[in-house]
Amino acid sequence: MLLLVGLGNPGPDYAATRHNIGFMAVDAVARRHGFTPWRKRFRGEVAEGELNGTKTLALKPMTYMNNSGEAVAEAARFYKIPTSDIVVLYDEIDLVPGKTRAKVGGGSAGHNGIRSIDAHLDDANYRRIRLGVGHPGDKAAVLHWVLRPFAKSDKIWLDPLLEALAEAAPLLGKGDDAGYMTKVALLTQPPKAGPAKED
């Protein structure tokens, strides 16, 4: 079984913020692939489905970002899911908006949700999909930046990114994170300009 985790904060005040792009991503995957309706479980909300024939549990921790690990560890323990079958999608300020990167393990880079998951799992070698939301340019402004809603102009890259993350999701079920990144990058490429027409 695959445990697909999106990180964010519960409640309408946080719903459209940069910190909640992980929630947005798993919502898009669940919609695209016909997962069950969301229901409350494991201190979060869960929906079940399949990705590439792999049974998948989508999870949105409702513990607030700083305690995300409580929900992730509870679900992983219940289903005996190894860390290699846990995929976490979350916001990354050190990537430009719309860029994505995959990695296994590593540090938290100051992300409180990841720090919490690291603290609650036996090892930190779970799979991570970092979703770029950009940096405000000033370290002191980071908290306000991630807790601020996306601007209307962000929809230009945000909507196509969420669609691409959902469309490529079966590759996560297959365990092909590199292929997933490649497909997302291809799906979010701006259209190439055609040859200039002569008058």
Pick the catalytic residue from 19, 111, 120, 135. Answer: 19
Within 8 A by CB and 6+ apart from 90, the residues are 6, 7, 21, 22, 111, 113, 114, 128, 129, 130, 131
Query: Exposure of 160 by Cβ count < 10 A (0-12 exposed, 13-18 middle, 19+ buried)?
Result: middle
In our burial notation (b when 16+ CB lie closer than 10 A, e otherwise), range 71-80 reads bbbbbbeeee
Known catalytic residue: 19? yes
- Active-site positions read 19
